[in-house]
Structure 1
């Protein structure tokens, strides 16, 4: 009976979280606030559900963060992030160090707390949040370089802060020095990146050479490979979150079977992780204690927003010749979300004397940041001139191996605005052996011939030999970008079939 009640409650919470996404889209309220509100509503101040298991929250929160980072890496295009990966690494290390130092100094001077408590406060709020960054920025038409820089920073800067918080609240605080902490961070991050790359590389080749009996097994296998990197890195003493983010990015940019189905599955898992994480954190909060932490939260929040974050952005981006208006946007777009609250559970679990105050301050900070920063970002993007016109969708090709036939089935939809619109089948000039088998248009299946003209929204199914798959995808993308004249833009046409 208790199990049925628990399942009923979890199901209702999940459905409420799904409905909250639509409400937030219509009302313009960030969805994570609604998730926190759901947790508060069913907690001690609402329906009276008592939940104080900090250790379980920390464990589930870490797993949820792993899912969010893995999905974020999978949906990140390497071609877009590659030009800014170095700068993102600087912001995720040096920038975090500057932000933590300035925020901790403000907390120590103004709040009259000891050095250890001030450093924990500064470290907990020092990193930007991947879940908040991905969910907010990917709906905004801003310059791809800025969006990629902020997304990469949010993915890279969580592991260093987690390591720092863990060291400061542990017994190692009495013996560790800044050089030891810095060396530990570099070691764990480097090893985490290497493990993520190695596991993802082997996983990619395994998936490409496997013909599984069901298409639904490919998304499961892909997620399992990501968590294999996560667990391997954790067992090796490396950064598990860095490993799963790097593994997700590698797999997301690899040529995997049923990639679109995997992307949809990972996106659903990401939403589930966000809903569960924020509801859980809302359950853990105690509204009766929050008013006492309001003044401290205001001081730390103002210092972080208007001093620490702008200083860290200026220090990290000035050498890269980032214009001042873009620095202003980067400073304001340092979104905080689930990560600071999850990190705030670490000192509570370790029994730090001021841990409960730290948790309440961070909880209020996240709510304030979400209420103020996220809704004003579109306005600031327009004021600073970092918005761009919407661009046509990129051609996404999904492949499925036909093991015994030594061939692949390629399926894709002609995006709206693509140069493929109006192109005749005879103008595709596909590689030898590749054949356009079916066109799905307006709920009808068409058998194409050389006189068939493609249209936006068409779904195409091609049969392609294994050795011609890559050339076929490159040819389709080239025509999607440049139309029939792709050859004049540097595209080498594939040999015409005999």
Structure 2
């Protein structure tokens, strides 16, 4: 039930959205991911900040996060050029699956040692923070004007867009092991294969159907084209989940297929979905910021620092060098940069709400550590990415521009 008049509530929401965008623009000018501004404003508006908004609904936050991620992944797929990334499909998929698993296992070991977690609790934490964030990485690249050489951008983009399903599956597996101790890990392999396969099939189907609908004359030049694109993203996710597939993979594949076909409305749909993706990031991070009380982070500073540095300096580099060892086209400099470019963002924080909703032991500590890891990863890796690229000799500088104002071409 609303406790304030509806006009005032809408005014507050609109003001928060606009102010959040401005905060994200400001942080991006300093080489930080826009999510720092989004989260920061949410925390200021929250219970420990001057805004004083008390918000602790993890179920609602999870729902908001899932909905926003659908459009972020769908837009990411539409903005991915298949011609540019197809050479990196094999290394990206290896890194998006086995790389995520290796990172999770190494981080789990650190959690057992540092936090005295059980192995399953450690694996849960490792799985939550294992996936990288494409939006955060490319916002940094656009804001700094960094132009990377070779296939490195394609590898980072494709890996970041496809590693979320693996992390989501592992989080579900960890929760199953914790709540049902007798569950067999080997019994989950067919389920994983089925989820991935159905996600790909549904994504391909929806991605093919969207352009076919938009080729019709009464849709391609009207605002209904935008409605159809929204429906496509939601149907791709929902249909895949209903029949046992991975909805996030389906949403990404649908966007990838639709974005690489030729039809009259493709450019405006891509721009519209890019706007929805930014709106999704703003809403999601603002909500997550409201959910976190900064005073709760004090108790996890020491273990959070430990987990962050293990993830950045050990787990991610080890997983990258192991997974990319067979691919000779990528030298050690490219692998080292890919290791450092593994920023964490929206997905880990959203995944951290799953243990809270499930009520597993240690869930509150896991959520706060994940939030701390994402903040520290963004603050350390974001501003230093340009410097690392220059030191490794794989990037050239162009004129910087605001990541929030950079409209990606379809």
TM-score normalised over the length of structure 1? 0.76
Deviation of 1:313 after TM superposition, in Å, equals 0.4
Residue 169 of structure 1 aligns with which residue?
Answer: 175
SS of equivalent to 1:97: helix
Q: 2:373 matched to 1:358?
A: no
Q: 2:219 matched to 1:223?
A: no
Out of 87, 103, 108, the residue aligned to residue 104 of structure 1 is 108
CA distance in structure 2 between the partners assigned to 1:137 and 1:382 by the alignment: 13
Q: 2:25 matched to 1:22?
A: yes
Q: 2:133 matched to 1:125?
A: no
Larger gyration radius, structure 1 or structure 2: 1
Q: 2:379 matched to 1:371?
A: yes
Contact 1:127 1:161 in 2 (8 A): yes
Relative to structure 2, which stretch is displaced further, 17-26 or 307-316?
Answer: 17-26
Residue 401 of structure 2 aligns with which residue?
Answer: none
Q: 2:75 matched to 1:71?
A: yes
Residue 458 of structure 1 aligns with which residue?
Answer: none
SS of equivalent to 2:211: helix
Deviation of 1:287 after TM superposition, in Å, equals 1.3
SS of equivalent to 1:211: helix
SS of equivalent to 1:9: helix
Out of 308, 311, 316, the residue aligned to residue 304 of structure 1 is 311
Deviation of 1:162 after TM superposition, in Å, equals 0.9
Contact 2:34 2:136 in 1 (8 A): no
Q: What is the total number of aligned residue pairs between the two structures?
A: 392
The alpha-carbon distance between structure 1 residues 22 and 303, as it changes in their structure 2 partners (threshold 3 A), is closer
Contact 2:68 2:280 in 1 (8 A): yes
Q: 2:166 matched to 1:160?
A: yes
Residue 319 of structure 1 aligns with which residue?
Answer: 326
- State the superposition RMSD in angstroms: 1.9
Residue 4 of structure 1 aligns with which residue?
Answer: 7
For 1:229-308, what aligned pairs fall within 5 Å after superposition? 229-308=236-315
The alpha-carbon distance between structure 1 residues 384 and 232, as it changes in their structure 2 partners (threshold 3 A), is same
Contact 1:64 1:277 in 2 (8 A): yes
Which structure shows the bigger proportion of residues in strand conformation?
1
Deviation of 1:388 after TM superposition, in Å, equals 4.5
Residue 88 of structure 1 aligns with which residue?
Answer: 92
Contact 1:137 1:147 in 2 (8 A): no
Higher relative contact order (CA 8 A, sep 6+): 2
Deviation of 1:192 after TM superposition, in Å, equals 0.1
SS of equivalent to 2:124: helix
Residue 342 of structure 1 aligns with which residue?
Answer: 350
Contact 2:195 2:244 in 1 (8 A): yes
CA distance in structure 2 between the partners assigned to 1:331 and 1:261 by the alignment: 34
CA distance in structure 1 between the partners assigned to 2:264 and 2:310 by the alignment: 48
Residue 405 of structure 2 aligns with which residue?
Answer: none
SS of equivalent to 2:218: coil
SS of equivalent to 1:86: helix
CA distance in structure 2 between the partners assigned to 1:166 and 1:294 by the alignment: 27
CA distance in structure 2 between the partners assigned to 1:250 and 1:209 by the alignment: 18
Contact 1:215 1:258 in 2 (8 A): no
Q: 2:37 matched to 1:43?
A: no
For 1:391-402, what aligned pairs fall within 5 Å after superposition? none
Deviation of 1:167 after TM superposition, in Å, equals 2.6
Out of 207, 218, 225, the residue aligned to residue 211 of structure 1 is 218
Residue 404 of structure 2 aligns with which residue?
Answer: none
Deviation of 1:214 after TM superposition, in Å, equals 4.3
Deviation of 1:78 after TM superposition, in Å, equals 0.4
TM-score normalised over the length of structure 2? 0.91
Deviation of 1:200 after TM superposition, in Å, equals 1.5
SS of equivalent to 1:141: strand
Out of 183, 186, 204, the residue aligned to residue 190 of structure 2 is 183
Contact 2:196 2:246 in 1 (8 A): yes
